[in-house]
């Protein structure tokens, strides 16, 4: 068994070179040459905003770790909210974002969290998002607090709890179960609670 297999994570890790921009319009066609030229110039100048004066890339690179109970998830809600800058991705509303890693925790107790951030960091990730499934599962992940301390300590990366807005159906059930009454939950939910209208869009 090779080192990656022993760690049990390599096959789960996907490097997705997905740049999600709210300012650059891709695939827009024009029959008018002037329109096309000005559109190109605009795109060039907008793209320049992705670089600082020193010429360093300012694209925010992020990785996502999902709860393994949804290990076949295709990432539909996470990617939609990243594109729309909703939920925990609202923080990037004025920035370019590149998703450089996407994987599962590897199953309870989340052994892949020990290694996956390292691969994400090698792809330039500064921030790891623990997907919204960590907080909405039945039960929620019991290791959220540990992971959110471990990753910064071991890899010097920021952790954000959540990805897409909490779907309304999960919100209602957890409210009825009083799952999120402990004070710590206020911090865990602050990026993804959003509002009812937004939660409904992710039902």
Binding region for ligand SF4 (CB under 6 A): 67-69, 105, 107-110, 134, 137, 141, 143
CB of 114 to ligand SF4, least distance (A): 11
Could you give the C-alpha distances from 43 to 23, 30, 46, 145, in angstroms and in order? 9, 14, 5, 41
Q: Which is nearer to ligand SF4, 9 or 20 (CB)?
A: 9
Do residues 122 and 151 lie in contact, with contact meaning Cβ atoms separated by under 8 Å? no
Burial of 53 (0-12, 13-18, 19+ CB in 10 A): exposed
CB of 26 to ligand SF4, least distance (A): 33
CB of 171 to ligand SF4, least distance (A): 19
70 contact partners, CB below 8 Å, separation of at least 6: 104, 133
Q: Which is nearer to ligand SF4, 7 or 69 (CB)?
A: 69
CB of 110 to ligand SF4, least distance (A): 3
Q: Which is nearer to ligand SF4, 20 or 116 (CB)?
A: 116
Minimal CB distance to ligand SF4: which residue? 141
Do residues 15 and 101 lie in contact, with contact meaning Cβ atoms separated by under 8 Å? yes
């Amino acid at each position: 068994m090779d080192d990656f297999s022993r760690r049990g994570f390599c096959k789960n890790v996907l490097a997705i070179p997905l740049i999600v921009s709210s300012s650059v319009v891709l695939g827009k066609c024009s029959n008018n040459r002037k329109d096309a030229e000005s559109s190109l110039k605009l795109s060039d100048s907008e793209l320049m905003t992705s670089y600082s004066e020193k010429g360093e890339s300012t694209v925010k690179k992020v990785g996502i770790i999902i709860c393994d109970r949804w290990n076949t998830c295709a990432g539909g809600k996470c990617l939609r909210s990243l594109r729309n800058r909703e939920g925990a991705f609202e923080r990037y509303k004025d920035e370019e974002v590149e998703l450089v890693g996407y994987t599962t925790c590897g199953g309870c107790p989340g052994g892949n969290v020990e290694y996956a951030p390292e691969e994400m960091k090698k792809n330039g990730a500064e921030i790891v998002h623990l997907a919204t499934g960590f907080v909405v599962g039945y039960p929620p992940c019991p290791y959220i607090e540990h992971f959110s301390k471990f990753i910064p300590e071991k890899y010097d990366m920021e952790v954000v709890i959540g990805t897409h807005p909490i779907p309304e159906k999960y919100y209602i059930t957890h409210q009825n179960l009083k799952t999120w009454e402990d004070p710590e939950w206020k911090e865990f939910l602050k990026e993804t609670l959003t509002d009812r209208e937004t939660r409904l869009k992710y039902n």
